[in-house]
Amino acid sequence: MRYAIALLAAVTLVGGAVAVAQDRKPPEKLVFQSKGGDVTFTHAAHVNREKGECATCHEKLWPQSAKEPLKSSEGCRACHQAGGKAFEMPGNCVRCHPTVSSPPRTAP
């Protein structure tokens, strides 16, 4: 019985490794252009903070492709909101839009 459990665990581990291998090579960072000023997304730092858990963002919030424009910061808001995992968006525009030249108007 104990052997069976160990075997099951080993099979589960291998299955997990295969699932990870199907993920594409993650980028170090991505730059999104926007009318509000370019946004640098620190992909590697975000992955580390999620302990390598790709599924937090893929494919739920975004595809594993930067070919399509983001269109909005809505997905970022999943964590970047009051009471969320990260600094909220209102009042923190420059932390994502460091090149914003004029006083920002309203959040998108």
Interface with ligand HEC (CB under 6 A), residue total 55
DSSP characters for the chain?
-HHHHHHHHHHHHHHHHHHHHTSPPPPS-EEE--TT--EEE-HHHHHHHTTT-GGGTBTTTB-S-SSS----STTGGGTBSTTSSB--STT-HHHH-TT--SPP----
Q: Which residue from 12, 14, 59, 104 is in contact with ligand HEC, where contact means CB under 6 A? A: 104
Site for ligand HEC in 29-58 (CB under 6 A): 30, 32, 34-36, 39, 41-43, 45-47, 49-50, 52, 54, 56-58
Nearer to ligand HEC, 9 or 90 (CB): 90
* Rounded distance between C-alpha atoms, residue 70 and residue 33, angstroms: 9
The two three-digit tokens of residue 92, written as one number: 């923190």
Q: Which residue from 4, 60, 68, 101 is in contact with ligand HEC, where contact means CB under 6 A? A: 68
Can you give the binding site for ligand HEC, defined by CB under 6 A?
A: 23-27, 30, 32, 34-36, 39, 41-43, 45-47, 49-50, 52, 54, 56-58, 62-66, 68-73, 75-76, 78-80, 85-87, 89-90, 92-93, 95-97, 104-108
